[in-house]
Structure formats: structure tokens, C-alpha cells
Amino acid sequence: MKADTDTTARRPNQRPELAAIDDETMRSVLRKMHLIRKFEEAAEASYMRGLIHGTMHLSIGQEASAVGATLALMDEDYILSTHRGHGHCIAKGAEPARMFAEFFGKENGYCRGRGGSMHIADVDGGNLGANGIVGGGLPIAVGVGMSIKAQKLDRVAVVFFGDGASNEGAFHEALNMASIWKLPILFVCENNKYGMSMDIGRAMAVPNVADRAVAYAMPGVVVDGNDLPAVAAVAREAAERARAGGGPTLIECKTYRLRGHSKSDRNLYRTKEEIEDWRNRCPIRRLEAELVAHERFTPEVLMTIEEAAQAEIDTALDFAKASPDPDPKDLTRDVYAD
């Protein structure tokens, strides 16, 4: 629903993908993209200062695929995420404060400090978890799809995975089963060009992950993963098809992670020029520029949204720092359900 003040309709020269997102939704999109970026920058800084004990995988530069692919989702829809999953969590509605608390290993983190960055989940919020195993979420998504179908629910599942995961056997098994059973799943590949250090061009014989969709008789769509309206449009169409019983779609978002694979990465496998080139294609700045060009938002309004996101992150970080640690006497709780 568009508010009276919505400017979308009054801007005739926009591309349809951009016009499809009204102002209110766009504010939410921008807020989430900024939250993701600033969350990860703050996480990185906390790590440098020795405040975070474990590893993390940053998705800085990939915010458009996370937010775009989940834009058509309802609260009750599901996502399954990856080791590089902070963006997916925030996009699905997770609170940065409880995510930070999880990073810090605190009792009031999403997983009571038991999971950390690679296992953040918010089952009640439809986030069935990040995953430390490359491709681990793909077969699980099939079961989620079976569950949706068996319970006759009007839901879809979005499973994120990287280009590297598309070389796992789990990818083949999952896409095949999802297709033969016409399950309501969006397979969203965030192709950031590298599986750790291995260039996808050296790891895969076809040029696009989406080309593999042919083998499963499902639509395979390549989209500019740094173009939020484009990702959102592709995902919306796929979600509508899934809800209508049309089965799964493989969406490949071509994107780039601006940071290394993890903290051990010294960027020996790629050039500074390449990283710089992608830095100039920042999905957030690019979207903002387009919105300003079409007079949807003024730079001042955009600045306000960004500052509000930063304030939210600052507060969230304070919450995490002040949170209690788990008690070692609870070490073995929740290994089994009663």
C-alpha cells in the first residue's frame, strides 16, 4: 500500500524494477542494506579490538542480493542461509542487537552464544539458520519445501548459497528433488566469484551457475547481484511462481565480496584493481544514486536513513557488550529436546 506522499508514481522515467518498489518499502530496503553494512563493519572492528573470539565471514558488497531476494517474502516464509549470512538474517528481520550478542557469545544472543556467527538462526522469524557447511542448507530446503506442501501452507523457502556450494553434490541432489516435486523454493546463488580463493572460472565448466538449471528443468536466471531492484524483481517473480505451484527457480546473483573470505585471507588470489573496481559498484551507493537521480529521495533524506541505521548499530553493540555470558554449568543443555 502506498502512502499519499509516495512519489513513486510521479517519476515516469524509472525502469520498472525500480518503480515497483514504493517509497515506504524503499526506506526499509535502504535501512536494511545500511544495517547489514554497518553491522559487519562494527563486527570487523570489534574483532580487530579483540572483542570477538571466533571467526566471521563478511558479506560487505553483497547487501543487494540479501535484501533483494527476501523483499517479496512474508514473515512466515523461510530462509536458509550460509556461513556468510549476516545480511540474510538482517534482511529477514533479525535484530542486530541479538546478532551482536550471539557474536559476543552472550546468553541473550539468538543462539544463547552456542552458535556464533556461522549458526545464527531465528526459527520463529522464519530464519532456519546460517550454516557452517558449504551447501548444507540446500537439502534442508528440500525438506522445508516438502513440509510446506504437505501442510498446504502458502509459504516459500529461500535458500542462499555461494558459487562454491554449486559444486557440491548436495546442490545437484537438492535441485533435482525440488524440481521433480515442484517445491516452492528459491535457490539463490550469491556468486561472489570465489570459493575462498578458487576462482569460479577455474572451478566450474559452464560460465554461469544458472546455466545448470537446464539440468533440472527449472528457470535459471542470471541477475546483477549488486542491483537491488533487479534482484528484487527476479525474486518476486520466482516467489509468485513458487506460490502458484510452479516449482523452484535458480537465481544467480553476480556479486562480489569486498572483504576476504575470512580473517586469514591475505587476498593473494585477486588484484587490488579488481577489488577497487567492485568497490565502485557498491550496491548501496548505486541504489542511492539512482533514487536521487529520479528524485525519489533527497540526499538529505538518504543521509538521515543511513545515520539512523548507524545509531541502531551503535545501540545494538552496546546491548551485546552489556549482555551476560552463558554459565558453564549449562554446558550440556539443549543437546536433546525433552
Partner 1 sequence: MSTLTEAPVESAVRELTYAEAIREALAIAMEADERVFLFGEDVGVYGGAFGVSGDLVHRFGTERVIDTPISELGIAGAAVGAAITGMKPVLEIQFSDFVTLAMEQIVNQAAKIRFMFGGKAKVPMVVRLPGGSGTGAAAQHSQSLEAWFAHVPGLKVIQPSSPHDAKGMLLSAIDDPNPVLIFEHKLLYKTKGHVPEGDYRVPIGKAAVRREGRDLTIVGSSIMAVRAAAAAEKLAEEGIDAEVIDLRSLRPIDFDTIAASVRKTHRLMVVYEGVKTMGIGAEISAMIAESDVFDFLDAPIVRLGGAEVPLPYNPVLEKAAVPQEDDILTAARRLARGDA
Report the interface residues with partner 1, using CB under 8 A. Answer: 78, 80, 109-115, 119, 121-124, 128-129, 131-133, 136, 138-148, 150-151, 169-170, 173-174, 176-177, 180, 332-338
Residue identified by cell 553476480 is 254
Minimum distance from residue 110 beta carbon to partner 1 (Å): 7
Minimum distance from residue 179 beta carbon to partner 1 (Å): 11
For residue 78, list its beta bridge partners: 157
Greatest Cα pair distance, the chain, in angstroms, is: 63
Residue 264 · residue 17 · CB < 8 Å:
no
Residue identified by cell 513458487 is 242
Minimum distance from residue 272 beta carbon to partner 1 (Å): 36
**What backbone phi and psi angles, to 5 degrees, belong to 64?**
-70, -35
Q: State which residue, 144 or 239, has the beta carbon closest to partner 1.
A: 144
Q: State which residue, 138 or 287, has the beta carbon closest to partner 1.
A: 138
Q: State which residue, 121 or 287, has the beta carbon closest to partner 1.
A: 121
- The sign of the torsion formed by the CA atoms of 266, 270, 271, 272 equals negative
Q: State which residue, 143 or 246, has the beta carbon closest to partner 1.
A: 143
Minimum distance from residue 54 beta carbon to partner 1 (Å): 13
Cα–Cα distances in angstroms (integers) from residue 110 to residues 33, 102, 147, 243, in the given order: 20, 6, 24, 29
Strands (E), 15-100: 78-80
Q: State which residue, 5 or 332, has the beta carbon closest to partner 1.
A: 332
Q: State which residue, 32 or 155, has the beta carbon closest to partner 1.
A: 155
Per-residue buried b or exposed e for 176-188, using 16+ beta carbons within 10 Å of the residue's own CB: ebbbeeebbbbbb
Minimum distance from residue 264 beta carbon to partner 1 (Å): 21
Minimum distance from residue 37 beta carbon to partner 1 (Å): 26
If we measure between CA atoms, which residue out of 315, 305, 252, 216 comes closest to residue 32? 305
Q: State which residue, 123 or 303, has the beta carbon closest to partner 1.
A: 123
SS3 62: coil
C-alpha 7: how far from chain center: 28
Minimum distance from residue 336 beta carbon to partner 1 (Å): 5
Cα–Cα distances in angstroms (integers) from residue 17 to residues 8, 118, 123, 229, 305, in the given order: 12, 32, 31, 5, 22
Minimum distance from residue 10 beta carbon to partner 1 (Å): 43
Neighbours of 121 (CB within 10 A): 21
**Helix, strand, coil percent content, the chain, rounded in steps of 5:** 50, 10, 40
- For residue 58, which amino acid is it? L
Q: State which residue, 116 or 219, has the beta carbon closest to partner 1.
A: 116
